[in-house]
Amino acid sequence: MVRLGVHISIAGGVDKAVDRAKAKECDLFQIFSCNPRGWRSKPLSEDEAERFIVKFKESGLNLAVDHMPYLPNLASPKEDVFAKSVETLATELMRCQMLGIPYLVTHLGSHLGTGREQGLRRIASALETAFSSAENDVVPLLENTAGTKNSMGGSFQDIAAIIESLGARRLGVCLDTCHLFAAGYELRTAGGLETTLDQFESSIGLQMLKLLHLNDCRGAFGSHLDRHEHVGLGQIGEQGFRNILCHPALKGLPMILETPVDLRRDDSGNLRMARQLASETK
């Protein structure tokens, strides 16, 4: 059985995310532990964290994952932005520890024109500094990007270079299917998916892959357009998701949907579609 979930709001308290995840019939879920559009986060109280932990343990849910806010840029050449980004990363690692959350999904950011090598150095430095500030077992999951201009993480080689520079210590990978497809990694056919996974294995190693973001893509193959679509209704299509959901190297991984909510489908509708496709043979 595949394990599927969606991104859940923490409005009204972080523990409310557990109730919402259960109501949507998730197996697992992802949250922002604070306001994703601001630099400042209200500190978590011990009581808040305890309510979340107790409720999660009683829920029967499989996993909770945290996601970094939008503003941090770990590759930024701007010293003020970089410093705030590192501080946010360290804070989120500590918030995850308080909540008993094992994974923090982390965007790698943009080098803003200073070049890939400089961007890689900044990201490695950011992670090292954050690890020194938050000495715990929470694992940042480096998320791939769609390969937009100046962005880091659009290729497996980018992610591999970061992991290598830190010796794979306390790191994992989250692959977003929309971003993969937009960056030019084929997913629509069984052969294309196999080639993509072979490239991942040779560059990074499948043992580093801890989470999938299961999103279809509005943009064309290799377009570098980061626009999520309902499962099966975008350019990857239903057969592409059958391939992904039934692949022996992937079907055991936790999968989070970050799909739109509109008149065509809501979160529950996308979960139902993903489960249906997972139950079908290729």
pLDDT tens string 70-79: 999 999 999 9
Q: So what's the pLDDT on residue 40?
A: 84
Q: So what's the pLDDT on residue 41?
A: 83
Residue 70 falls in the annotated catalytic set: yes
Catalytic residue among 226, 230, 242, 267: 226
Catalytic residue among 179, 218, 230, 242: 179
Is residue 282 over pLDDT 90?
A: no
Is residue 168 over pLDDT 70?
A: no
The H-assigned helical ranges of 74-227 are 79-99, 116-133, 156-166, 177-183, 190-203
The pLDDT > 90 percentage for the chain reads 95
Going by pLDDT thresholds of 50, 70 and 90, the confidence category of residue 1 is confident
Residue 176 falls in the annotated catalytic set: yes
Catalytic residue among 7, 20, 67, 230: 67
92-101, 120-129, 272-281: which has the minimum mean pLDDT? Answer: 272-281
Average pLDDT over residues 86-92: 97
Going by pLDDT thresholds of 50, 70 and 90, the confidence category of residue 8 is very high
3-279 topology per CATH: TIM Barrel (3.20.20)
CB 154 within 8 A of CB 142: no
Average pLDDT over residues 187-206: 98
Q: So what's the pLDDT on residue 136?
A: 93
Is residue 253 over pLDDT 70?
A: yes
Q: So what's the pLDDT on residue 132?
A: 93
The pTM (predicted TM-score) of the whole model is: 0.96
Residue 179 falls in the annotated catalytic set: yes
Residue 143 falls in the annotated catalytic set: yes
Average pLDDT over residues 236-261: 97
Catalytic residue among 7, 218, 228, 265: 228
Is residue 230 over pLDDT 80?
A: yes
Is residue 169 over pLDDT 80?
A: no
Measured at the CA of 258, the angle between CA 85 and CA 226, to 5 degrees, comes to: 70
Chain mean pLDDT for the chain: 96
Locate the DSSP E strands across the chain: 3-7, 28-31, 63-67, 103-106, 139-143, 172-176, 209-213, 216-217, 228-229, 254-257
Is residue 130 over pLDDT 60?
A: yes
Q: So what's the pLDDT on residue 36?
A: 93
Is residue 49 over pLDDT 70?
A: yes
